Every structure is written in C-alpha cells, then in structure tokens.
C-alpha cells in the first residue's frame, strides 16, 4: 500500500437482515442515497449479508471496484463485525477499514412504528459511516507471545477437571486451592444423582491423579494475593499459608490429631461434628497432610511430642510464590443459603430442623455420625421426615434465581432415607415445582415417586416445635385440596446456592464482572459461557451460576479448551484499536498513566525527554487516556480527531 496517496473508494452494503431491517427501512432508498455520498463508488443491498452469498457479494465488489474501505450497514457489530472483517481479510484488505453501521438495534428495532423517519435516520447513519470510512487507515493486528502455563483458582470438581484436561494436553498447570484439601463440595456428598454413585469414589481417583500428574503443581492451603496483566499473560502472586506441619515429612498417620486436646466445630461436616485443632478435613484429603488451625491451637505441644516423623513446626512462615501464566481459569465454587435468615422455619433455634447439606454429612460414611441418620436433638432415629423445597431460592426476598439442584437433591436424599431407615419411615417432600430436567433425571423422579415417598404440592409457611419435641408444620396440598398438618421428627430445608466468598477474594485481584445475582459473568449467556470480560481469563462451574456436577464438568472442560486455544498457539493477536502517542505533542505530564486501569501506558525517559509509551499488549483501547490528555497527544486508533469530526459533520448534514 505504498506509493502516491489514493482517493478513498468506499463500498456500501446494506443488509435486509430478513425483515428485521427491511421490514421497516426502505433499503433501496438507502442504497440510492448512498451512491450520492462522497467517495462512494458502489452501493448494494442483500437479504442476509452475513450469509455465504452475501459475503461473496462484498468480496466480488471489493475486487471489481478496487475498494479501499467498506461500510456494512446491518445488525450490531457485536454479532458480525468479526464476520465482515474476515471477508475483508480474505479479499486482501485490512480488516480495519471496515466501518459497521447498526441499522437494526439503533434504527429499525427502535423506530418500528415510524418507517419513513426510520429510513431518514438510516440514511443519516450510513452517511456518518461513510464519512468515517473515508478516513480509516489500514491497520494490522499485532501478535504477542503467551506463556504456556495456566493457573486454575479453586480445586473443586471444576478446577480438578480443568486442570487434568490442560495437563493431559501437555500444558503446565498451577492449581491453587484455599482450603487444606482439594475436592470442594463434592467431597462432602454421600451419593450423586441420578446414578447414586458414591461421590467420594468417583472423585478421589481424580484427586489422586491431580496430585500425581507431572504437569500439575498443586498448591493447597494457598491463596492468590495479586495478579498483574503483562505481556505474555499474568504475573501472579500466591501466598502459601503455613500448615505448621512440614509437608515433606508428614505421613498423614493421624496420631497428632488423636492427642490434640482442642475440639472445634468442623466446617467440613457442615458444622455438625467437631474436629481437632490439628486436622485433615476428610480421610480422603489430598494432599494427605495435616494442618494446624492457628486460631484455635493453644501450642500445648502434644502433637509435637507424639509425631514420629518430627513434622510439626510451629515456626513455619507463609511463603510467597510468584508465577507467570498465560491464562487463568476461575473455578471457586459456591456456598449454600443460610437458612437462619428465614426465622419462621426455625433453623438455628430448633435442633431437628436441618439442611440438605447437613443431611448429606449425616448420610456420609465419613461424616460426624458415620452415616447414621439421627435426630440432632436426641440422637434417636427419625421415623418421619419432611423436606421443604426452595428455601432461599426463587424468592424475591433472598435470591430470585432457581438453585437448579434442589429438586434432584431432595429426591436423592428422600430415596436414600427410605433405604437407610427402613420402609416404614415416612418421607414427605413439600414442593412447588419439580425440576428433573437432565439426562436420567425424569426417570429418577419416576423411581422416587414409586418408592412410597409422599409428595405434597404446596410450600409450608412455618415450622413449629411442639412441647413434646416433634416438629409440626401446616401445608395446603393443592393436589388433594386438603389442609394438612405434618408432625414429623425431622424437617430438612432444601437450601439454595449463593455466590461463594471466593468470588469476592478473586475480584479483589482480578476485576471480572459479576451479574446482579452476584455470580461471575460470562461474555455471552448462550455462545460464550466460559469467557469473561478479561482476555485470557475463563470461568467454570458454580461460580458462574448454580449448576450440578454434570454441567460443572462439561463447563470445566470447555474452559480448559478455551484456555488451550491461547496456550497452544503460544501467542495472541491484539486488536490495533489501541492508544497511540504522538511523541511530538506529548509533554510527559503523566495524566494518562494515572487514569489507565490496565497499566498500559507509562511515562518513560527517551532521549532525555519524558514521553508516554503504550504497552500494546495491555492496552484495551478504552480511550480514558485520550480523554485526559491535555495536548491531544494520545489518541485511540479508529477514533482519531479527523475520523470523529467527519462523522459529526455528516450527522449534522441536514442542519448544515
């Protein structure tokens, strides 16, 4: 593209978008007017410009009319700007001489009831697009290297799956988990629906694989404390918290725990049972290394005295580790709704009112009662149990969304209770809707209905305790139109799912967007479920939204694949629509550096002058620097003064 400066030759292509645009706007008139605009050599319209014949239309026109810039007037650039950029690339033009005009969201969809005015506006929008296209420069994408390592934050089933996928693909993975063991909530479960597989049995082999995999470095009991975006990816600081136990020496024998005098509530048993101040969360913990809970340890030294391997070290300090990774996958999981917030259900004041998570621990062989389900008030076996669904879910007072797993969890637990406690046990499920949507789920629901479990179509309003200790609740059963009173030994609240506290910790170091419900936001709910607003950062699992293990595993593999896309190429292409500094105008005042959120522009000394320099790998092209710059030295490509001013002139064409 050297030689003498050519006059621009602009092609305008107006899409009907089916009836979306053409149903309101007179596309022929738009094309007619386009021909009259300066430097336009060809204007065409077509029913679906993004289709193959539509794209060919543009390619042919570019060749035939020797175009230097293209205006596509169609839907929204977020849908198809990439599509048409590739058309230009194929035809030998720089993809950045494309100007995309939105005639759908900005015109036909919002002015559907005023077709004449809409057509006038469409013509004006195209005029503005042409005005800008005339000043567009043939920019090129830049390539930057990407480090071939990945960081996975969160070691539940989603983090484990993603790590294994990436590791097996040949990439080095750092898996950071804040609790002393990986496994997350899945390790707390007894059985999983709908197959009733033992949860630990299907999970622990994966956990062991993670610990033994040559490509995975497992950092348990650690947290990410800082993340910096740099060329190549991310510089990450990880803080390894002190276990006060030397990991290389600890054999996991457990003698220390037996002698520890301090007992505290065990959060891994949903606070039902207790553990010692020196403990492992579960018998199947990975890494199988003990840890001292420094908030409760009294330094009596009993563990130190009995440890054969001399692994106790009270002087252990936290260690800081620095990593350089190309991509990050965030998989920090969820937490359950705190049922104490619903006072009328009595959770927290009535001991026999429990939650599905607590019941899962009671059912679990490694739980506080070794798998014996008992009433928490007196230790006796319950003869009648009632489930209340949707506690804290589908509720505008708490969380408006559906927790997605509540129905299946209650069905599963109801069936297990019948099996464990005997056929005579009465089990009731009080529900609003029964959502058994997945593969094998409806069949499971059939099986549960066939097991003498009583379904009551109605949600109780309150749970009361009688003076004899039994729990009573009244519920209107819609199916029989009867007002029922249930007097049961135990009430199980099916609690909903909420964003985990881990989301806040991660967002302190990585500003990923969240939605109104507090879960991490994906880039597009249908087509980009694992990407985020941050390039190179992906999300997977319940931190993106409530879901069960099936969907979590799928999403984790999807995130691993997206990460692998970047890692395998070893480089990324960066949009050239980034900031550029005119070094003659720059006086090095530093206001651009203050305002840049990405650390992409720095004032440096070059040849004795202070001048701002853009780090092209980091610049996102937001334009904040160009707004702040007092001399106009910093501008963003494709949004330079002459480009914007020409658009403004075209917009005010009618006014003159």
Number of residues that bind other proteins (CB under 8 A): 28
The nearer residue to other proteins, 231 or 477, going by C-beta atoms, is 477
Site string for other proteins, 196-235 (x = CB under 8 A): ----------------------------------------
Distance of closest approach, residue 546 Cβ to other proteins, in angstroms: 16
Least distance between other proteins and beta carbon 347 (Å): 13
Q: Could you give the CA distance from residue 385 to residue 343 in angstroms, rounded to a whole number?
A: 20
Instruction: Give 480 or 649: the residue with its C-beta nearer to other proteins.
Output: 480
Q: How far is the CB of 117 from other proteins (least distance, A)?
A: 32
Within 438-497, the residues that bind other proteins by CB under 8 A are: 457-462, 464-467, 472-478, 483
Distance in Å, CB of 406 to other proteins, minimum = 13
Q: Which residues, including other chains, have CB under 8 Å from residue 528's CB and lie 6 or more apart? A: 522
Contact indicator for 501, 333 with CB cutoff of 8 Å: no
Q: How far is the CB of 405 from other proteins (least distance, A)?
A: 18
Helix and strand totals (H; E) in the chain: 16, 34
Binding piece for other proteins, criterion CB under 8 A, among 158-166, 395-403, 416-424, 507-515: 395-403
In whole angstroms, the minimum distance from the beta carbon of 444 to other proteins comes to: 23
- Stretch 405-444 residues interacting with other proteins (CB under 8 A): 432
Give strand ranges (E) for 40-171. 40-46, 69-74, 98-102, 142-145, 149-153
Q: Is the peptide bond before 278 cis (omega within 30 degrees of 0)?
A: no
- Using the minimum distance from each CB to other proteins, give the nearer residue, 5 or 397: 397
Q: Which stretch binds other proteins (CB under 8 A): 54-62, 391-399, 496-504, 528-536?
A: 391-399
Cβ nearer to other proteins, comparing 292 with 463? 463
Q: Which is nearer to other proteins, 200 or 486 (CB)?
A: 486
Q: C-alpha distances in angstroms, 241 versus 73, 119, 305, 319, 504?
A: 56, 64, 23, 7, 19
7 touches other proteins (CB under 8 A)? no
d(CA 102, CA 17): 11
Task: Please tell me the distance from the alpha carbon of residue 621 to that of residue 339, in angstroms, as a whole number.
Answer: 45
Q: Please report, in angstroms and rounded to a whole number, the separation of the first and last CA atoms in the chain.
A: 35
Least Å distance, CB 516 to other proteins, is 16
> Token pair of 333, please?
């999981």
Nearer to other proteins, 65 or 483 (CB): 483
Phi-psi region of 527 (alpha: psi -120 to 50; beta: other; left: phi over 0): alpha
157 neighbors 553 (Cβ within 8 angstroms): yes
Name the segment binding other proteins (CB under 8 A); options: 88-96, 209-217, 389-397, 553-561.
389-397
Asked if 390 interacts with other proteins (CB under 8 A), we say yes
Closer CB to other proteins, 476 or 598, in the complex = 476
Closest approach of other proteins to the CB of residue 356, in Å: 18
What does the alpha-carbon distance between residue 593 and residue 578 come to, in Å, rounded to a whole number? 15
The residue among 461 and 508 lying less far from other proteins, judged by its C-beta, is 461
Q: Looking up tokens 């359950």, which residue turns up?
A: 336
Give the max Cα distance, the chain.
Answer: 98
The rounded distance, in Å, linking the Cα atoms of 441 and 418 is 19
Angstrom distance (rounded) from CA 631 to CA 414 = 71
Minimum separation from the CB atom of position 574 to other proteins (A): 47
Nearer to other proteins, 287 or 460 (CB): 460
Cβ atoms 199, 189 nearer than 8 A: yes
Dihedral, CA of residue 519, residue 522, residue 523 and residue 527, to nearest 10 = -140
Select 16 or 394, whichever has its Cβ closest to other proteins. 394
Distances (CA, A) of 47 to 17, 21, 85, 525: 6, 9, 19, 27
248 binds other proteins (CB under 8 A): no
Bridge partner residues of 43 (DSSP): 12
Tell me whether strands 40-46 and 10-15 are parallel, antiparallel or unpaired.
parallel
Residue 66 or 462: which CB sits closer to other proteins? 462
Q: Which of 479, 607 has the CB closer to other proteins?
A: 479
Q: Give the containing element (helix H, strand E) for 146.
A: none
Nearer to other proteins, 459 or 514 (CB): 459
Structure tokens at 520: 């991490």
Q: How far is the CB of 472 from other proteins (least distance, A)?
A: 7
Q: Is 156 in the site for other proteins (CB under 8 A)?
A: no
Contact region for other proteins (CB under 8 A) — 48-56, 82-90, 388-396, 420-428? 388-396
CA atoms within 13 A on the CB side of 316: 19
Query: Which tokens hold the place of 386?
Result: 């009632």
What is the spatial distance between Cα 370 and Cα 490, in angstroms, rounded to a whole number?
Answer: 19
Binding of other proteins by 402 (CB under 8 A): no
DSSP H or E run through 426: strand 426-431
**Exposure on the CB side of residue 450, measured as CA atoms within 13 A:** 6
Smallest distance, other proteins to C-beta of residue 478, A: 6
The answer to whether residue 377 forms part of the interface with other proteins (CB under 8 A) is: no
Query: Mask 60-99, x = binds other proteins (CB under 8 A)?
Result: ----------------------------------------
Radius of gyration for the chain, computed over Cα atoms and rounded to the nearest angstrom: 31
* Interface mask toward other proteins for 332-371; x: CB under 8 A: -----------xx----xx---------------------
Complex with other proteins: residue 349 or 649, whichever CB lies closer: 349
Binding residues for other proteins (CB under 8 A): 343-344, 349-350, 390, 394-397, 432, 457-462, 464-467, 472-478, 483
């Amino acid at each position: 593209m050297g030689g003498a400066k050519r006059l621009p030759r602009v092609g305008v292509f107006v899409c009907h978008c089916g009836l979306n645009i053409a149903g309101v706007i007179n596309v022929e008139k738009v094309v007619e007017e386009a021909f009259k605009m300066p430097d336009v050599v060809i204007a065409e319209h077509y029913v679906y410009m993004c289709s193959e014949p539509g794209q060919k239309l543009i390619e042919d026109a570019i060749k035939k009319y020797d175009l230097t810039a293209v205006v596509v007037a169609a839907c929204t650039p977020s849908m198809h700007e990439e599509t048409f950029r590739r058309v230009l690339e194929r035809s030998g033009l720089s993809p950045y001489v494309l100007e995309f005009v939105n005639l759908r969201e900005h015109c036909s969809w919002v002015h559907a009831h005023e077709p004449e005015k809409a057509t006038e506006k469409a013509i004006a929008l195209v005029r503005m697009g042409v005005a800008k296209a005339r000043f567009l420069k043939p920019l090129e994408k830049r390539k930057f290297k990407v480090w071939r390592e990945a960081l996975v934050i969160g070691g539940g089933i989603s983090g484990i799956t993603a790590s294994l996928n990436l590791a097996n693909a040949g990439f080095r993975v750092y898996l950071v988990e804040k609790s002393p063991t990986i496994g997350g909530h899945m390790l707390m479960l007894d059985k999983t629906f709908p197959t009733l597989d033992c949860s630990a049995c299907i999970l622990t082999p994966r956990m062991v694989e993670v610990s033994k995999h040559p490509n995975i470095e497992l950092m348990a009991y650690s947290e990410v404390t800082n993340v910096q975006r740099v060329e190549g990816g991310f510089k990450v600081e990880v803080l390894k918290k002190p276990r006060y136990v030397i990991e290389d020496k600890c054999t996991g024998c457990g003698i220390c725990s037996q002698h520890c005098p301090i007992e505290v509530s065990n959060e891994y048993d949903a606070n039902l049972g207790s553990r010692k101040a020196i403990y492992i969360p579960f018998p199947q913990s990975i890494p199988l290394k003990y840890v001292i809970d420094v908030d409760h340890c009294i330094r009596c030294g009993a563990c130190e005295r009995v440890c054969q391997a001399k692994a106790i070290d009270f002087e252990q300090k936290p260690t800081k580790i620095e990593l350089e990774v190309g991509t990050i996958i965030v998989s920090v999981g969820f937490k359950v709704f705190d049922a104490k917030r619903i006072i009328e259900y009595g959770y927290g004041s009535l001991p026999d009112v429990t939650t599905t998570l607590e019941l899962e621990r009671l059912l679990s062989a490694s739980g506080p009662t070794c798998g014996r389900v008992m009433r928490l008030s007196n230790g006796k076996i319950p003869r009648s149990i009632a489930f209340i669904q949707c506690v804290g879910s589908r509720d505008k007072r708490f969380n408006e969304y559906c927790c997605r797993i509540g129905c299946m969890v209650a069905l599963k637990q109801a069936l297990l209770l019948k099996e464990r406690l005997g056929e005579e046990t009465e089990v009731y499920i009080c529900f609003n809707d029964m959502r058994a949507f997945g593969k094998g789920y409806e069949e499971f629901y059939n099986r549960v209905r066939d097991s003498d479990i009583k379904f009551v179509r109605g949600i109780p309003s309150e749970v009361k305790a009688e003076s004899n200790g039994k729990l009573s609740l009244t519920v209107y059963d819609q199916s029989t139109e009867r007002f029922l009173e249930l007097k049961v030994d135990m009430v199980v609240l099916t609690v909903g799912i909420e964003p985990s506290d881990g989301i806040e910790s991660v967002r302190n170091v990585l500003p990923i967007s969240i939605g109104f419900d507090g879960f991490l936001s994906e880039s597009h709910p249908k087509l980009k479920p694992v990407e985020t607003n941050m390039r190179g950062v992906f999300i997977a699992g319940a931190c993106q939204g409530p879901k069960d293990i099936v969907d979590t595993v799928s999403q984790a593999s999807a995130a691993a694949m997206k990460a692998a896309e970047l890692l395998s190429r070893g480089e990324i292409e960066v949009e050239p629509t980034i900031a550029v500094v005119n070094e003659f105008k720059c006086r090095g005042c530093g206001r651009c550096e203050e305002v840049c959120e990405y650390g992409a522009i720095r004032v440096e000394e070059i040849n004795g002058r202070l001048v701002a320099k853009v780090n092209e790998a980091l610049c996102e092209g937001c334009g904040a620097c160009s707004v702040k710059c007092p001399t106009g030295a910093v501008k963003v490509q494709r949004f330079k003064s002459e480009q914007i001013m020409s658009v403004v002139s075209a917009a005010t064409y009618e006014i003159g």
